[in-house]
Amino acid sequence: MRTSPRTGCWIPPTWSSPSAMTQLNIRPPSGIERIRANLFTSTFLPADFDNSYRPYVELTGDIAQTLNALSPQLKRSRRSALSSSILEAIAAERTQLSRDSGLRGGLPIHPLRLVFELQQLLSTDLTLCLDMGSFHLWIARHLYSFKARQVLITNGQQTLGVALPWAIAASIVRPADKVLSISGDGGFLFSAMELETAVRLKANIVHMVWIDGTYDMVAAQEKLKYGRTSGIDFGPVDVVKYAEAFGAKGLMIRTPDEITPVLKRAFDLPGPVIVGVHVDYRDNVKLFEMVNEASIH
Ligand SMILES: Cc1ncc(C[n+]2csc(CCOP(=O)(O)OP(=O)(O)O)c2C)c(N)n1
Ligand SMILES: [Mg+2]
């Protein structure tokens, strides 16, 4: 075991072979009898710590091996009544939200309706690459994927403009997969010139642009911090004409009922396809309601 210099947490050594595994001995460091961990993290790489994410115990290594090593030490074999009731309440809430989202009409299109339609499209042979922005918060919170490395997210450093280049890379690494990348209209313009690369490589990708004419996530943070916005408006940009100027295809989703058919059509077309959609961001203020103040920078 070694102790994290950042947190004082103890960390078992990274292990990669079964023999190293047998040496694993999950015990608290000397002086501590029992671990009362609020948050465990088990990852291949050391976790990124920040104000809102401070795991007490960090287990670095193969996640399956970690769980296999820990499981025999569990005393309780059944879920407690409290855990079950919490999980049931969460599941019921998710089902209700999904049902309501599927029925959302109106223009521009509400983010939850987009997420609902994306959830139906998220087959196991689809890789989803996400840029950063308010659109990403809606997706990260409400779209569920249960396949490792299916959804690539720009967390931590929050690098704007990564989605399109990631999609090009994903189409090379996973040629049999469908590849969908999504950005806001601002993030799209951070790397939109890479459409030339995508066309030249004949990359079979669909890149969706959520259009609202602002850097909305920056606007939301400015409002919370300074009480007003500054320098966040731009456009309008015609993403269909932009795509065509590069020799790519461009499609627009104009109504909620068009979301799935237009995306399906885009996947059927060869080469890169840009799909634009105007979004209703009136509920975005809710995205920040439960955010820790210290993380608004
Ligand atoms: C390279 C880089 N520059 C600036 C930022 C700060 N930033 C985070 S989100 C964002 C706005 C994103 O706007 P848009 O892509 O239109 O998405 P929206 O929030 O409107 O959904 C900006 C400028 C960043 N994350 N990365
Ligand atoms: Mg935007």
Q: What percent of the chain has pLDDT over 90?
A: 66
Beta carbon of 184 within 6 Å of any ligand 1 atom: yes
Which one of 109, 115, 134 would you pick to mutate in the ligand 1 pocket, going by the greatest count of ligand atoms within 8 A of its CB?
134
Query: What's the pLDDT at 34?
Result: 52
Residue 73: which pLDDT band, with cuts at 50, 70 and 90? confident
Segment 235-241 long-range contacts (CB within 8 Å, at least 24 positions apart): 235/185, 235/211, 236/211, 237/185, 237/189, 237/211, 239/185, 239/188, 239/209, 239/211, 239/274, 239/276, 240/274, 240/276
Written as six digits, the tokens of 228 are 């007003």
Query: What's the pLDDT at 106?
Result: 96
Beta carbon of 185 within 6 Å of any ligand 1 atom: yes
Query: What's the pLDDT at 259?
Result: 98
Q: How many residues does the chain have?
A: 297
SS3 (DSSP) at 277? strand
Write out pLDDT tens, residues 141-163.
999 999 989 999 987 667 999 99
Check whether 24 has a pLDDT greater than 80: no
Beta carbon of 278 within 6 Å of any ligand 1 atom: no
Residue nearest to atom 4 of ligand 1 (CA): 160
Mean pLDDT lowest among 77-86, 113-122, 169-178: 77-86
Tokens 């050594």, located at residue: 13
Nearest-atom index, ligand 1, CA of 217: 19
Write down the architecture of domain 105-296 according to CATH.
Answer: 3-Layer(aba) Sandwich (3.40)
Ligand 1 centroid – CA 281 distance (Å): 15
Q: When comparing pLDDT for 107 and 47, which is higher?
A: 107
Mean pLDDT lowest among 24-33, 131-140, 155-164, 238-247: 24-33
Name the residue ranges covered by the structural domains of the chain. Answer: 2-73, 105-296
Residue 9: which pLDDT band, with cuts at 50, 70 and 90? very low
Residue pair 65/16 in contact (Cβ under 8 Å)? The answer is no
Check whether 32 has a pLDDT greater than 50: no
Check whether 114 has a pLDDT greater than 80: yes
Highest mean pLDDT: which range of 23-27, 28-32, 48-52, 255-259? 255-259
Query: What's the pLDDT at 236?
Result: 95
Query: What's the pLDDT at 296?
Result: 60
Ligand 1 centroid – CA 41 distance (Å): 28
Average pLDDT over residues 215-222: 95
